[in-house]
Amino acid sequence: MPHQLPRRVLALLPLLLLAACAQAPAENLPTATAPAAVQTATETTLPSFADWRQAMRSEAIAAGIDAALFDRVFAGVTPDPAVLKADSSQPEFTRPVWEYLDGAVSSSRIGRGRVLLAQHNAMLQRIEQQYGVEAQILVAIWGLESNFGNNIGSHSVIRSLATLAYDGRRQGFWRAQLLAALQILQNGDVPSERMVGSWAGAMGQTQFMPTTYNQHAVDFDGDGKRDLWNSQADALASAAHYLQASGWQRGQPWGFEVNLPSGFDYALADPDQRRTLAEWAELGVRPLAPTGAAASSRASLQLPAGHQGPAFLLLDNFRSILKYNNSTSYALAIGLLADNLLRSTEIKGQWPRGERQLGRSERVELQELLAQAGFDPGPADGIIGANTRKAIRALQLQLNWPADGYPNTQLLQQLQQLRTR
Ligand code: CA
């Protein structure tokens, strides 16, 4: 689910991620919708919901929303405790990337996607002509966002967003989403009783957040409404329009698996280390198969499970997918699913399936111990971002371990021993 901030809150991704969207892996699995960073709740006392609604009503009217429409859609609306619970949950365990990919790129999803790709070929070709985004990428997004339109969520979007704008973290973000949802209703794209979505307000077959919807949803079937719930043409074309706006380059791969030479410097496997494919080739990084990408294309090297797992070079289009949902696992799943819709493609590298993932509290402990040991991992929030990866690499170099920046149990144990010395 695309939206501008962190994204939606998906399922729970592995540690790599950044944000989260409505249905993807979560925590870091961000979604095009969900708020990513954890914001501490303010300690100020909440107004009553009635008082909040009155203030929101004034704000909406000032933003051009019709007062009668506001009163109608807010009639009987109360905060939804289930939404608040979902917003505040910080799961201790997230699925390892390989388990997420097993589910996201399953043989049944590939099979269903191939059927739909063929069935909607004419429409998808027209969308590709107009927006420059390949059909298989759009079908992959459709498959992951809503299981091809079968799972669009059943929460009232107005109630969810009102709850989050009233009492959630990042209230300003949610207020903007609520205003955008009201604008969509005022446009007449959908009647309010049919405006349903994820608990975080991601809507329709492509799970757009309201602000993304307002900016990027299109009426592709020409009935005068932008209907991402019921119109496959509108939903797929809107996803294409959003990817186009996110810099998608037609004909470029999103990325591909590579082999690394022995003795490779794993410090180069970092999103900040962008090089041309020609430069990566000079370093001995080899695609497993011909890629069709220009040698001047820039890419970063990613080891989603550390040096013991598969390696991928990720090009600019991967970054466009991240704008849809800011989760590395999600974007990888989209790319791999899209590839498999065209032809079966196995990952050749072996995932370290026997390796236990650190839980959230262990990641927090890891960060605290890194700080105590004189490294600078950033705040101890359990999220393995750029600063924490850098700190892990510095420790790994000191230990003479492969410096892949990947947190694991051995590293945590090593730090625990250092402390007790
Ligand atoms: Ca339409």
Question: Which of 216, 248, 280 represents a domain boundary (last residue)?
Answer: 248
CB-based contacts of 66-73 (< 8 A; 24+ apart in sequence): 66/186, 69/182, 69/185, 69/186, 70/182, 72/192, 73/158, 73/182, 73/185, 73/192
Mind listing the pLDDT tens digit for each residue in 252-286? 999 999 999 999 999 999 998 999 999 999 999 99
- Please check the confidence at residue 6 and state whether its pLDDT lies above 80: no
**pLDDT above 50: residue 7:** no
Whether 405 maps to a domain, the answer reads yes
Distance from Cα 38 to the centre of ligand 1, integer Å: 37
Ligand 1 centroid from CA 76, angstroms: 30
Domain containing residue 411: 360-420
Ligand 1 centroid to Cα of residue 210, in Å, is 17
* Position 16 pLDDT exceeds 90: no
Ligand 1 centroid to Cα of residue 184, in Å, is 13
What does pTM read for this prediction?
0.89
Q: How far is the CA of 355 from the centre of ligand 1 (A)?
A: 48
Domain boundary (248, 273, 293) is at: 248
| 107, part of any domain | no
Residue 397 has what pLDDT?
A: 94
Span from the CA of 129 to the centroid of ligand 1 (angstroms): 18
Q: Does residue 161 lie within any of the structural domains? A: yes
Q: How far is ligand 1, taken at its centre, from the CA of residue 201, in Å? A: 20
Q: How much distance in Å is there from the Cα of 297 to the middle of ligand 1?
A: 37
Do both 234 and 364 map to the same domain?
no
For residue 264, the SS3 value is coil
Q: How far is ligand 1, taken at its centre, from the CA of residue 401, in Å? A: 56
* Helix/strand/coil (H/E/C) assignment for every residue in 105-146: CCHHHHHHHHHHHHHCHHHHHHHHHHHCCCHHHHHHHHHHHH
243 in Cβ contact with 137 (< 8 Å): yes
Identify whether 343 is part of a domain. no
Question: In the predicted model, what is the mean pLDDT of the chain?
Answer: 90
- Asked if residue 199 belongs to a domain, the reply is yes
Q: CA 350 from chain center: how many Å? A: 24
What is the per-residue pLDDT for 144? 97
Domain assignment present for 6:
yes
Residue 267: inside a domain: no
Mean local confidence (pLDDT), 48-58: 97
Residue 235 in any domain: the answer is: yes
- Measured in Å, residue 406 CA sits from the centre of ligand 1 at 45
193 contact partners, CB below 8 Å, separation of at least 6: none
> What does the pLDDT look like over 140-161, one tens digit per residue?
999 999 999 999 999 999 999 9
Q: What is the pLDDT of residue 31?
A: 42
Judgement on whether residues 202 and 65 belong to the same structural domain of the protein: yes
Examine the fold and report which residue of 193, 228, 248 is the final residue of a domain before the chain moves on: 248
Return the pLDDT at 1.
59
Residue 27 pLDDT exceeds 80: no
94 pLDDT band, cuts 50/70/90, is confident
What pLDDT score was predicted for residue 46?
Answer: 87
Question: Ligand 1 centre and the CA of 228: distance in Å?
Answer: 8
Residue 212 CA to ligand 1 centre (angstroms)? 17
Distance from Cα 206 to the centre of ligand 1, integer Å: 14
Residue 62 · residue 49 · CB < 8 Å: no
Q: In angstroms, what is the span from residue 221 Cα to ligand 1's centroid? A: 5
What percentage of the chain has pLDDT greater than the value 70? 89
Q: Tell how far the Cα of 217 is from the centroid of ligand 1, in angstroms.
A: 10
pLDDT of residue 166: 96
Q: Same domain for 68 and 208?
A: yes
State how many domains the chain has: 2
